[in-house]
A and B are shown apart, each in its own frame.
Chain A
Amino acid sequence: MRPTGMTYKLLLVWSIATTCFSAMAQNNHTAMLKGTVSDQSNGKRLEAVNVLLYAGKGPKMIKFTTTGKEGTFSIQIPDSLIGKSYLQFSYMGYETLQRRTDGSNEWTVKLAAKEMEIREIIVKAPKVKAQGDTLIYDVRQFSKEGDRSIGDVLRRMPGIKTAENGQITYNGIPINRFYIENSDMLEGQYGLATHNLPNKEVGSVEILQNHQPVKALEGIAFSEQAAINLRLKEGAKHRWIGTLKLYAGIAPKEGLWNGQGAFMHFDKKHQNINTLKTNNTGQDTSHELNSFNRNTLRYRNRLLTEYIGITPPYSIGLDRERELMNHTYQMTTNHLFKPANEPDIKTSLTYQRHQEDAMKQTGYTYYESQEDGWNLYEQEESDYTKEQLSATVSTEINKPAYNLTEQFRIDMDWKSRDMNLNGGQANQQHLNSNGKKAVNDLFLLKRKGNNFFTVSSYIALNALPQRFNVQTKDAEVSQAINQKLLFTDNLCGWGFIAGRIVIDLNAGIAGMYKDMDSQLNNAGKDFDLSPTADMTLGHTKLSLTPKLSYTANDFQASLTLPAGYSNYRYETAGQKAAKHHYFSFSPSFYSSWRPGIRWEWFIQGGFSTQDINTRLFYPSDLLTTYRTIQRGLAEFCHTKVTTVNGGVKYNIPLKEYYSKLEVFQSWSAIPYTLVQNIKDGYIHSKYLPGERNIRQTSISGSISKGTDWAKTTGSLQAGWNKSSSYLLRNEKNIKNQLTSIHIEPEIDINPATWMNIRYTLTLDKEWMKVNETKKQESTCSLKQSLRIRIMPSERLNFSIKGEHYANQATGTDSHNFFLADMAFTYKLSKYVSLDGHIANLLNEKTYAYSSLSDEAMKINKWYNIRPRNILIGAYITF
């Protein structure tokens, strides 16, 4: 019988099946080799010995295992490899052993100790590499649609904070230099760069941490401060770059304009920035001119200040732009010349003319008791003009062996204010002043090895004449004040580090000479006034300030022990000179402790005896406003202040939770008491010797939490403050206690990538208690703000903002104000954008608020605000 096709198929399946089965059966023939590995000398079992199975050509490693805790191992090998393979036992510090597989399943392996020599491969110490992401910030990465100047981008960089006045801090400490291409052209006046340098021309922002600007001090004097260096794009150098902003608009009674031009040029040997600005849209450009030069900040309170208040005050709570009715013109030009092998020369010239009109109504209550007080109401229309001219020339040699920095600066200003006052005491006022200031600032350092010698000398000459005329329907009152001042401060310092302890020692000599005369005519005939003054006051001070700092892992502490010897000489016309000597000692301490990753505690405090308040030191009466006469205190007395401040932070960063709580307490012993007498439309204030204690307590805290839901962040800030003070008003003792709270919740939601919503609420409430009565005077102000920002495309950016203010004082209805703004930006091209802005959509006319003062006073103010206005314009960069 011939096999059929079916039979063939069956035979094939059977033969395949039997082949597979036999193969599987063969594979299943494996042996499990087990054993122990121990030290040949002492029999100690060895753990983690490599057991490798080698077989075939090469031979090749087939399998491996390692010995366990008891030095045991087990490895499965196919029967077919028995006799044709070997096991290798290797272990660091022992001789490697190879044993052929011989069919035995139980293995006892003993390894002999042997120093294993490894062929070393020596490499040189690696070069320190960088990632550059913490200190060099790529401007492009931080830029957002709508950013115009580098200041807009700087605000977003980690650790950098820009204050309202333009000062930049890095990790809470003000920066010490602001460089553009490694050159400090602006010398502290860096607002000019942050506001005008286009962000698209800057490649990167470099944060130079612990920056020591004096090369000769590098490696000796440690600087906690950082510096910022702007690195421009290559295409932005060797050509003129800048921006032009041209806006025009309409408001009900006038046309609006806002024009700005910034032109700058940077190359290796020369840098310059020039700006021209003008607007009548309420933009205060003068903060660009603020200088954050170290000595300018340090000595600003030592120079002359105005007795007669010419500069109009701002409103509380409301954006300045909403109430400022101005005409401002401003011009600046800054140059830096860097000749080869010669000192750098810098020049700066700024001019500003600023005129503002104000229309406001004010109500004052001067309390004599909780129920009883003197009320005053006035309506004011004023026209204020300020012209300001500053010029600076400076030179710097910054070499590793020595440093010489010399700066000479002249500031002049002319201020005048005309005021028409209606109300209880109608009058016309004219005020003017003409301040002049010349400052020379020298720093010289010579270094030899690790020894160095420094001299720093600051000399200022300051004059500030002021005139004040008040014309009422009956009389003309006038006040003239002439002040002149010479001030100098000279310092030298050393410092060294010994392990965890850092010791700093500073020595200084300071001097001051003030000449003042004043003449008051026709005022306060019912008071016993001293209308004229002709005095000089001299002060020299020697000081020594040792500082000890200790740093450990979780703990930091510092102790500062400044000691000084002061000598005063006061002379007034026709009287014998009075002299005064004084030793002062003002110790202070700081300590912080981090017991864990989430907790941080700190405490600081100090006691200080302050120098004589030279501002109050004059023998006459001065008319400071049309109804206040202020007598000076020509007595040598010192205020003593003790402060203690402590707090705790608790953060769980990985859960996006941050919280802190801080407590502050101060006790001031002021050696004079404020005495006020209200008579004949005047408030006469003077200081009588006699200690007055002022106590202030405040508690503040904040808490914030982020969530993944719509990338929402919520925060709450709250504070409580209580201060008590004491004064004599119309021969009555007035104790006054002021308590205030501040609560500010905020929520920020991003429901989509093209939308952002931010809501903020601010609640401020104040209570005042006069003479411990039960009844309290209080004010309350509530501000809510909601901003919705929509970015429908890369070219278009649209935002709408609504604000609600509700301000209330005791016994009055709440004043409610609703303000709304709309803005858009449309990017026409890389260089040109079209901007539009509608402000005050709901056309609110006034803004009112009440505030309380720690001199037992209540002030109610009504401001006229900018009516609805539209502004449209182009923003061009080149």
Chain B
Amino acid sequence: MRTILLLLCLWNISICTRAQIEKHTRILEPSILVCQYDCVKKVDTLGTDTSEDRMILRIGKNASQFYAYSRFHNDSMCCDPKGKRMWGQMMVQAIRSRNYSSMPISRVISEYFYKNYPEGKITTLSSLGTTPCQIEEEYVPQDWKLADSTRTILGYSCQLAECHFRGRDYQAWFTPEIPLNEGPWKFNGLPGLIMEVYDTKHHYHFTLAGLQQSGTEPVCYYDFQSHYEKIGRIEYLKACRSNKGTNPEIRKRLNLDNPTPAKRNAQGQIIANDYLEKDYR
């Protein structure tokens, strides 16, 4: 019954917030293809605990966008007073029913990525603490090396390629049958769509879950915050680690400046994970 209520809520919100979302949306170009990826992150790199999110990749002729569905859902609800209220109620409902997984918030990747927008750049929209921020970097392909292995994923024949990118070694399975040089997150430059990509330590794993060519939404620039603070990529990652961007009063109360005892798993090992990009260290 709760699930039905929740779905009704979602449907209701999707109608009432559509008008509001449009105010925050700038259509860049029509989509050629829309892909959905499951993104799994190891919460404890020594253990087995993972968290999961559904990601959307919209590919246009020139640019593409990549984001977590849950993040978009959350943002779109909160840009409308009625949606915000519904969001609050869904949250309450989820908390009351202890069904925490139904809470409307993102889990693994909370950024919006725009490849080749503006031309030759990757734009990332994120937030540091309570500060919305924007990161711009060069749009260049990874230095892919083709490997011998081939396999079939979801009926598409795929070939393996490898690269080292910003502190991690990756293996990507791409299909030349879909001749788009695109993939999840910042991956690009292979002669076919990336169907699956993961780092060799399996801390992050993207797997294609869906493909849609017709009746798709265009590639859109979601401008949920009216203003963004511009910041360099490395500076952003360092700031994430040191919880910058959070009001000093909150920092003080959270004791963010004092080291807290490390969280440990059942085996007594320290629970730790790192970002996708590790070159900030």
Interface assignment of B268: CB less than 8 Å from any CB of chain A? no
Check if B104 sits within 8 Å of A128, measured CB to CB.
Answer: yes
Check if A121 sits within 8 Å of B191, measured CB to CB.
Answer: no
Given known pairs A130-B102, A208-B92, the reply for A497 and B128 (CB within 8 Å) is no
Check if A499 sits within 8 Å of B19, measured CB to CB.
Answer: yes
Bound-state Cα–Cα, A210 to B19, Å: 22
Q: Mark A221-233, 1 if CB is under 8 A from B, else 0.
A: 0110000010000
Given known pairs A130-B100, A136-B100, A711-B257, the reply for A91 and B179 (CB within 8 Å) is yes
Interface assignment of A155: CB less than 8 Å from any CB of chain B? yes
A180-235 interface (Cβ within 8 A of B): 182, 206, 208-212, 218-219, 222-223, 229
Given known pairs A121-B154, A713-B252, the reply for A131 and B36 (CB within 8 Å) is no
Stretch in contact with the other chain, from A60-68, A242-250, A572-580, A686-694? A60-68
Which of A64, A93, A117, A122 counts the most chain B CB atoms within 10 A? A64
Check if A52 sits within 8 Å of B226, measured CB to CB.
Answer: no
Check if B250 sits within 8 Å of A117, measured CB to CB.
Answer: no
Check if B191 sits within 8 Å of A120, measured CB to CB.
Answer: no
Contacts of B209 in A (CB 8 A): 121, 123
Interface assignment of A715: CB less than 8 Å from any CB of chain B? yes
Q: Mark B74-106, 1 if CB is under 8 A from A, else 0.
A: 000000011011111111101110001111111
Interface assignment of B57: CB less than 8 Å from any CB of chain A? no
Interface assignment of A290: CB less than 8 Å from any CB of chain B? no
Bound-state Cα–Cα, A349 to B248, Å: 41
Bound-state Cα–Cα, A61 to B192, Å: 12
Which of the residues A92, A229, A553 comes within 8 Å of B226, measured between beta carbons?
A553
Given known pairs A88-B176, A551-B81, A706-B248, the reply for A229 and B95 (CB within 8 Å) is yes
Check if B212 sits within 8 Å of A120, measured CB to CB.
Answer: yes
Check if A658 sits within 8 Å of B248, measured CB to CB.
Answer: yes
Check if B248 sits within 8 Å of A92, measured CB to CB.
Answer: no
Check if B176 sits within 8 Å of A50, measured CB to CB.
Answer: yes
Bound-state Cα–Cα, A66 to B91, Å: 48
Given known pairs A52-B191, A597-B131, A654-B131, the reply for A156 and B103 (CB within 8 Å) is no
Bound-state Cα–Cα, A222 to B16, Å: 15
Bound-state Cα–Cα, A553 to B25, Å: 13
Which of the residues A123, A497, A653 comes within 8 Å of B210, measured between beta carbons?
A123
Check if B212 sits within 8 Å of A654, measured CB to CB.
Answer: no
Contacts of B258 in A (CB 8 A): 711, 750, 753, 756
**Whole-angstrom distance between the Cβ of B40 and the nearest chain A Cβ:** 12
A132-189 interface (Cβ within 8 A of B): 132, 134-136, 141-142, 144, 155-160, 182
Check if B88 sits within 8 Å of A158, measured CB to CB.
Answer: no
Check if A90 sits within 8 Å of B103, measured CB to CB.
Answer: no
With both beta carbons as reference points, the residue of chain A lying nearest to B179 in the complex is identified as A90
Contacts of A121 in B (CB 8 A): 154, 208-212
Contacts of B211 in A (CB 8 A): 118-121
Given known pairs A123-B209, A130-B104, A502-B81, the reply for A118 and B253 (CB within 8 Å) is no
Bound-state Cα–Cα, A658 to B246, Å: 10
**Whole-angstrom distance between the Cβ of B53 and the nearest chain A Cβ:** 6
Contacts of A209 in B (CB 8 A): 88, 91
**Whole-angstrom distance between the Cβ of A460 and the nearest chain B Cβ:** 32
**Whole-angstrom distance between the Cβ of A184 and the nearest chain B Cβ:** 13
Given known pairs A502-B81, A654-B245, the reply for A594 and B226 (CB within 8 Å) is yes
Contacts of B259 in A (CB 8 A): 753
With both beta carbons as reference points, the residue of chain B lying nearest to A115 in the complex is identified as B213
Bound-state Cα–Cα, A540 to B241, Å: 60
Bound-state Cα–Cα, A706 to B70, Å: 33
Given known pairs A129-B106, A131-B105, A656-B248, the reply for A597 and B176 (CB within 8 Å) is no
Contacts of A126 in B (CB 8 A): 36, 54, 69-70
Interface assignment of B52: CB less than 8 Å from any CB of chain A? yes
Check if B229 sits within 8 Å of A222, measured CB to CB.
Answer: no
Bound-state Cα–Cα, A64 to B263, Å: 46
9 contacts between A and B (CB under 8 A): A121-B208, A123-B210, A129-B105, A130-B104, A206-B95, A654-B244, A708-B242, A715-B248, A750-B258
Q: Which residues of B contact A (CB under 8 A)?
A: 10, 19, 23-24, 32-33, 36, 51-54, 69-70, 73, 81-82, 84-92, 94-96, 100-107, 128-133, 146, 148, 150, 154-156, 159, 176, 178-181, 190-192, 208-214, 225-229, 231, 235, 239, 242, 244-248, 250-255, 257-260, 263
Closest 10 CB pairs of A and B: A210-B88, A130-B103, A126-B54, A123-B210, A597-B227, A90-B179, A50-B191, A653-B131, A156-B253, A711-B257
Given contacts A64-B146, A127-B101, A182-B96, 6 further A-B contacts (CB under 8 A): A61-B159, A61-B191, A118-B33, A121-B208, A126-B54, A206-B95
